[in-house]
Amino acid sequence: MLSKVLLASLVAVAMADHAPYHPAPYHPAPAPYHAPAPYHAPAPYHEEKLAPRPFAYEYGVKDEYSGAYFAKQESQDDYGVVTGEYRVALPDGRTQIVRYTADHEHGYVADVSYEGEVIPYVHKPAPYHAAPAPYHAPKPVYKPAPAPYVAPKPVYKPAPVYHKPAPVYHPAPAPYHPAPAYKPAPYHPAPAYKPAPYHAPAPHYAPAPYHG
- What are the pLDDT digits (tens) for 117-133? 888 865 566 667 777 88
Q: Report the candidate in 41, 81, 95, 85 with the shortest Cα–Cα distance to residue 59.
A: 85
| Mean pLDDT, residues 130-153 taken together | 82
User: 113: which residues sit within 8 A by CB, 6+ positions away?
Assistant: 96, 97, 99
Is position 154 within any domain? no
Is position 33 within any domain? no
Question: Does residue 134 surpass a pLDDT of 80?
Answer: yes
Domain that holds residue 100: 55-115
pLDDT the model gives residue 54: 92
Stretch among 39-48, 67-76, 79-88, 135-144 having the lowest mean pLDDT: 39-48
Is position 180 within any domain? no
Is position 93 within any domain? yes
Is position 29 within any domain? no
Confidence class for position 85, pLDDT limits 50, 70, 90: very high
| Mean pLDDT, residues 157-162 taken together | 78
Of all residues in the chain, the percent with pLDDT exceeding 90 is: 18
Question: Does residue 183 surpass a pLDDT of 60?
Answer: yes
Is position 139 within any domain? no
| Mean pLDDT, residues 162-185 taken together | 77
Is position 71 within any domain? yes
pLDDT the model gives residue 55: 92
Q: Identify which has the larger pLDDT, 70 or 17.
A: 70
Count structural domains, the chain. 1
User: 82: which residues sit within 8 A by CB, 6+ positions away?
Assistant: 74, 75, 76, 100, 101, 102, 103
Question: Does residue 86 surpass a pLDDT of 90?
Answer: yes
Is position 96 within any domain? yes
Question: Does residue 9 surpass a pLDDT of 70?
Answer: no
Q: Identify which has the larger pLDDT, 69 or 131.
A: 69
CB 87, CB 69: distance < 8 Å: yes
